[in-house]
């Protein structure tokens, strides 16, 4: 099943460029080389957007058995794409259900801390993950992009982050036991 919401901006750019070409060939990005280039292409293949072709002009990788291997766009995901580069139907489903990380990852630890009644501040996230503060803040941004509603509030002079109670207005959230976020 195609899932355009899992495409990175690089994937979207590659698809858009290939869509404009008559031969629908995906041109490998010059700044990405080696294993990273192959993984980038294999993700497009795995999601059903591309297929491998023999290509001497713009190979993504060289296979000992097949020789230079290129990619061709087989599904045009951008024709019915919204302004953000993905289909509205899949985006609505993705935003309704946040993407949950694997249980053993550091980002899962971050989510567990954010789901506590007290939430967590940057110091707690740094201590739990061994990340630098700017990395912990970037992880919060990544969680928001994956569909998690992260609330921010000031408590005792520090910023506390929590996963918002989905579908509850702030007054009902207080009655349910989750403190309402304070405005910054």
Q: Does the structure show a pLDDT above 50 at 184?
A: no
pLDDT in tens, 20-66: 888 888 888 888 888 888 888 888 888 788 888 887 777 887 877 77
- Whole-structure pTM value: 0.42
In angstroms, the CA 124 to CA 119 distance is 9
pLDDT in tens, 75-86: 654 443 443 444
């Amino acid at each position: 099943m195609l899932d355009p919401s899992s495409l990175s901006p690089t994937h979207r750019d590659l698809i858009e460029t290939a869509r404009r070409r008559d031969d629908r060939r995906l041109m490998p990005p010059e700044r990405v080389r080696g294993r990273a280039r192959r993984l980038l292409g294999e993700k497009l293949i795995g999601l059903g957007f591309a297929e491998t072709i023999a290509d001497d002009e713009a190979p993504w990788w060289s296979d000992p058995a097949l020789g230079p291997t290129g990619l061709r766009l087989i599904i045009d995901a951008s024709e019915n794409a919204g302004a953000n580069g993905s289909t509205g139907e899949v985006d609505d489903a993705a935003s309704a259900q946040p993407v949950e990380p694997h249980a053993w990852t550091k980002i899962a630890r971050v989510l567990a801390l954010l789901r506590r009644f007290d939430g967590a501040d940057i110091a707690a996230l740094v201590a739990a993950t061994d990340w630098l503060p700017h990395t912990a803040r970037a992880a919060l941004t990544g969680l928001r992009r994956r569909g998690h509603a992260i609330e921010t509030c000031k408590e005792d002079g520090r910023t506390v982050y929590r996963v918002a109670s989905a579908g509850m207005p702030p007054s009902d959230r207080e009655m349910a036991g989750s403190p309402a976020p304070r405005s910054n």
